[in-house]
Amino acid sequence: SGISKGKGFAGVVKRHGFKGGPASHGAKQWHRRPGSIGASADPSRVFKGKKMPGRMGWEKMTVHNLKVVKIDEKENLLLIKGSLPGKGGDLLTIKGHES
């Protein structure tokens, strides 16, 4: 487990994978916008949990089933095959297999 890389303020296309609007045929400046975010007079609000633009990344992530390649006690190293959350030098929590 560790903290993923922060990606700053991201729009809905990058953050949630929205398709965006058409590139042509009268599309005026809404190519990467989310579109409608709610109904009209009823319910007169935006529902909680609506996918919107905002800060992306910098969240706790856990990666399962990674293989330990080597344990070097002399150099105090643990070599793991696969990608890990965060950038180089970040602290990680390693948990063993529960059997």
- pLDDT tens digit string along 64-91? 999 999 999 999 999 999 999 999 999 9
0.85 surpassed by pTM: no
pLDDT tens profile 49-64: 999 999 999 999 999 9
pLDDT of residue 99: 59
Where is 13: in which H helix or E strand?
helix 12-16
The pLDDT, as a whole number, for residue 87 is 92
Identity of the residue numbered 33 = R
**Domains of the chain, CATH where assigned:** 2-81 (4.10.960)
